[in-house]
């Protein structure tokens, strides 16, 4: 007896669907009951949200494909402008009908056009007796398009007077979508994160054909033990599982252990996985490099990660400019006289200073400073005389393009430009050495 039951579809189809969407049975059955039977009008718009890789896209796709419901599936990030998005929906509608292979290109600039063309397309396809589903993945992008797009999609059924349901998929909650002017409230549905048991079940489902499911399950168990703390992304876990499985099998292939010798296998794989967590998972070294290392049985120390190359070689004056910028960003202006002038007056401790001494300037972040101050500090920290040549000024600009400094405010060069130093203390220390 399948967990998902619906009078409109055959038990076999539902069983197949269930096998395809493990751990999401309840969500699917809710969706099915909202959808109703093919010819019935459904709720105009449904909003599905949940964390990254909680199976929103996958469930929707499998559901619609398995039940062979007419649908259009669009990623809003990929079709970044409203025009591209609307046109893409129309094109997919046309190809959906499969009467004519050639998709004639129809320009569609506004939502008004879209409604008109949509009606035409639906009429041509004899879809009147079925609900058409429009799925908009990454729907949060809709907020960045014209203001009318999102509300209009939400009540597309009403606007077109056709049997259509819009499904929005997003990672953020509906409250962040709601426009100021108010709109039609969609039906919201939450996809919870997969639990560790769910992950185990789903990952084990795709075991390699050469090995038994139990063997692979034991491997997944170890893998989750290491990675579950840092990563719950199903896709990433699957990727990591595939990457490291050959290493796990090694003792078995060599005949040193049999498939049930879990302790031995664990001893073999555990340090390896921990290393993987520090390198491949963070993309310090690429997966192909990782695989190559496995084949050659080399130590991962041989390939230096991306973070190992932190040293930046800079020209002499660029170094001093950067240090001066750092000093200007993190020291208050009134201490300049004390630090950079040879014959400064007495250091007077005022109440004002004491009050602020506790909050470190490093916690407050860099402050903007004018160009003149930067140059003044530069002249005082460089031993020999520095001529304010064109090269010095161009170096400041190139530091800005390298994102080591950043320009603050308006970009009028003549009007006393202000900068901020964006590098960390460690970086400055490395340079000053």
| One of 192, 301, 409, 416 touching other proteins (CB under 8 A) | 416
Q: Alpha carbon of 64 to those of 7, 86, 88, 162, 167: distances in Å?
A: 17, 21, 19, 19, 12
Q: Alpha carbon of 250 to those of 102, 169, 244, 265: distances in Å?
A: 52, 42, 10, 9
Interface with other proteins includes 239 (CB under 8 A)? yes
Interface with other proteins includes 295 (CB under 8 A)? no
Name which of 33 and 81 has its Cβ closer to other proteins.
81
- Binding piece for other proteins, criterion CB under 8 A, among 13-21, 190-198, 204-212, 353-361: 204-212
Interface with other proteins includes 410 (CB under 8 A)? no
Q: Degrees (nearest 5) of the Cα angle 198, 189, 53? A: 40
| φ/ψ of residue 339, rounded to 5 | -85, -40
| One of 225, 298, 301, 388 touching other proteins (CB under 8 A) | 388
Name which of 196 and 306 has its Cβ closer to other proteins.
306
Q: For the chain, how far is it from start to end, CA to CA, in angstroms? A: 72
Interface with other proteins includes 116 (CB under 8 A)? no
| C-beta of residue 5 within 8 angstroms of C-beta of residue 14 | yes
Enumerate long-range contacts of 214-220, CB under 8 Å, 24 or more apart: 214/259, 215/259, 216/245, 218/262, 218/265, 219/245, 219/248, 219/265, 219/269
Interface with other proteins includes 241 (CB under 8 A)? yes
| φ/ψ of residue 86, rounded to 5 | -65, -40
| One of 124, 178, 235, 429 touching other proteins (CB under 8 A) | 235
129, two tokens: 């007796």
- Binding piece for other proteins, criterion CB under 8 A, among 6-14, 21-29, 121-129, 367-375: 367-375
CB of 419 to other proteins, least distance (A): 16
Interface with other proteins includes 243 (CB under 8 A)? yes
Interface with other proteins includes 424 (CB under 8 A)? no
311, two tokens: 């040293």
Question: What does the binding site for other proteins look like in residue numbers (CB under 8 A)?
Answer: 52, 75, 77-81, 84, 87-88, 105, 107, 206, 208-210, 233, 235-236, 238-239, 241-243, 245-246, 282-283, 286-289, 304, 306-307, 309-318, 370, 372-373, 387-395, 398, 401-404, 414-416
């Amino acid at each position: 007896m399948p967990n998902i039951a619906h009078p409109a579809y055959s038990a076999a189809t539902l069983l197949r669907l269930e096998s395809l969407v493990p751990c999401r049975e309840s969500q699917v059955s809710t969706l099915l009951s909202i959808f109703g039977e093919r010819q019935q009008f459904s709720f105009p718009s449904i909003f599905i949200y949940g964390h990254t890789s909680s199976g929103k896209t996958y469930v929707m796709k499998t559901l619609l494909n398995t039940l062979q419901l007419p649908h259009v599936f669009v990623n809003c990030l990929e079709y970044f402008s409203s025009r591209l998005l609307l046109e893409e929906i129309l094109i997919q509608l046309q190809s959906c009908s499969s009467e004519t292979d050639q998709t004639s290109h129809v320009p569609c600039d506004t939502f008004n056009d879209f409604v008109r063309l949509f009606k035409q397309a639906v009429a041509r396809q004899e879809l009147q007796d079925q609900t058409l589903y429009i799925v908009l993945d990454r729907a949060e992008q809709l907020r960045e398009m014209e203001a009318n797009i999102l509300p209009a999609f939400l009540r597309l059924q009403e606007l077109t007077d056709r049997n259509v349901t819009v499904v929005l998929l997003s990672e953020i909650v509906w409250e962040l979508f709601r426009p100021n002017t108010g709109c039609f409230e969609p039906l919201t549905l939450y996809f919870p994160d997969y639990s560790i048991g769910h992950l185990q079940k789903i990952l084990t489902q795709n075991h390699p054909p050469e090995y038994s499911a139990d063997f692979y399950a034991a491997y997944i168990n170890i893998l989750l033990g290491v990675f579950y703390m840092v990563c719950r992304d199903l896709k990433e876990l699957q990727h990591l599982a595939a990457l490291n499985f050959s290493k796990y099998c090694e003792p078995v292939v060599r005949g040193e252990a049999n498939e049930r010798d879990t302790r031995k296998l664990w001893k073999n794989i555990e340090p390896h996985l921990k290393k993987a967590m520090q390198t491949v998972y963070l993309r310090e070294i690429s997966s192909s490099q990782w695989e190559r290392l496995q084949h050659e049985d080399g130590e991962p120390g041989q390939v230096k990660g991306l973070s190992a190359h932190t040293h930046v070689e800079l020209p002499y004056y660029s170094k001093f400019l950067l240090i001066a910028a750092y000093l200007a960003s993190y020291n208050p202006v009134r201490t300049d006289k004390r630090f950079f002038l040879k014959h400064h007056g007495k250091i007077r401790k005022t109440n004002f200073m004491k009050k602020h001494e506790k909050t470190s300037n490093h916690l407050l972040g860099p402050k903007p400073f004018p160009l003149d101050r930067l140059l003044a500090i530069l002249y005082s920290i460089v031993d020999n005389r520095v001529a304010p040549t064109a090269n010095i000024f161009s170096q400041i600009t190139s530091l800005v393009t390298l994102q080591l400094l950043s320009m603050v405010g308006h970009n009028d060069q003549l009007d006393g430009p202000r900068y901020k130093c964006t590098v960390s203390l460690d970086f400055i220390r490395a340079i000053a050495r």
